[in-house]
Amino acid sequence: MSISFENALGIHEKALNFRAQRAEVLANNITNADTPNYKARDLDFSKVLAAESDKAKNGTFALNVTNAHHIEAQGMDTGEASLLYRTPSQPSLDQNTVDAQVENANYAENAVGFQASFTLLNSKFKGLVSALRGE
């Protein structure tokens, strides 16, 4: 009998990957807070979660390929479609849409979500180890 990690771990693995990608986007926003004409970006967790739920219900997703020799991609699609621009709460003279306080708050919130996903994933692995040991 084999163990299906997809069934055992659930969505926690994908949530952890999403949180890591969002941390990169938010860190990029914070880094470019003083760059003229820089537009703040963010990933929408609810849209990505809904897309992943649809994929889980309908099976795996397929990509359009231009060559029969291309390798089919697996995983979560967090490409340009889910990377959104942030609407500024206060316009700036240099057209930069980064608000440092908002970005830092979102980064902290994302870090808490990352830790929660990591803790849940860790407990899933502990459960799998206990099952393998027969405890």
In a 10 Å sphere around its CB, with 0-12 CB exposed, 13-18 middle and 19+ buried, how is residue 83 labelled?
middle
Residue 68 pLDDT: 64
How many helices and strands (H and E) does the chain possess?
Answer: 4, 2
For 117, phi then psi, to 5°, come to -65, -40
pLDDT at position 3 over 90: no
Q: How many Å from the N-terminal Cα to the C-terminal Cα in the chain?
A: 18
DSSP 8-state symbol, 84: E
**Nearest partner of 119 among 19, 43, 5, judged by Cα:** 19
What confidence tens digit (pLDDT) does each residue in 94-111 have?
999 999 999 999 999 999
DSSP H or E segment with residue 41: strand 41-43
Contacts 24+ apart (CB under 8 A), 101-109: 103/26, 103/29, 103/30, 103/33, 103/40, 104/30, 106/26, 106/42, 107/23, 107/26, 107/27, 107/30
Mean pLDDT score across all residues of the chain: 81
What confidence tens digit (pLDDT) does each residue in 50-88 have?
777 777 677 655 555 666 666 555 544 545 557 889 888
Domain ranges of the chain: 5-133
Least confident of 8-12, 57-61, 62-66, 131-135: 62-66
**What is the token pair recorded at 133?**
């040991």
Question: In which band, very low, low, confident or very high, does the pLDDT at 9 lie, cut at 50, 70 and 90?
Answer: confident
Mean pLDDT of 31-37: 94
Residue 76 pLDDT: 47
108 close to 50: Cβ distance less than 8 angstroms: no
Q: What is the three-class DSSP state of 62?
A: coil
